[in-house]
Amino acid sequence: MVSSLTKDTYGFLASHHFVVTSGRIGGLILALLLLLLVEKEVTRAVVRSLPASTGRVFDVIAMPLLLTFAVVVIERFRALGF
């Protein structure tokens, strides 16, 4: 009983080549990560009345995304033969 590995996710990952899935999902993760990081800086700079912990709210989501994106990039390089 693992919700991350269902019939759909397994089917998606198994039916597409790594280059395709890493491009789509890696791209989505990167776009989301960049958006959150930009938002973190903008809210800190513009909305000064927000609590000091606001940056940590973005970190909750950005840190795992960063970790996953790093793994995808490393795997992509390894797939290229580096």
Partner 1 sequence: MNATRPWLQATRPPAQEARSLVELLYVAAFVGVELLGLIDPLITAFGHAILIVALINHYVLTQRDHREPVLIALAVACVYRLLAFTPLPTIDFTNHLVLVGAPMLLATVLALRLLHGPGVRAVGEALRPKMLHWQLLVAASGVPLSFAAYELLKPGFVVTFSRPAQHPAAVAGVVIALAAFSGLGEELLFRVLLHGEARTSFGPAALYVSSAVFGAAYVGTRSVPFVLFVVAVGAFFGWCYERTGSILGSAVAHSLISIGVFVVWPSVGHIPHL
**Collapsed DSSP state (helix, strand, coil) of residue 52:** coil
Q: For the CA atoms of 26, 29, 32, 37, what is the dihedral angle to 10 degrees?
A: -100
Helices (H), 1-82: 7-15, 18-46, 54-79
For residue 61, what are its two tokens? 């989501």
State which of residues 34, 38, 73, 75 lies at the interface with partner 1 (CB under 8 A).
Answer: 75
Show contacts with partner 1 in window 21-40 (CB under 8 A): 21-22, 24-26, 28-29, 31-32, 35-36, 39
The residues of the shown chain that bind partner 1, judged by CB under 8 A, are 1-14, 16, 18, 21-22, 24-26, 28-29, 31-32, 35-36, 39, 43, 49-51, 53-54, 56-61, 63-65, 67-68, 71-72, 75, 78-79
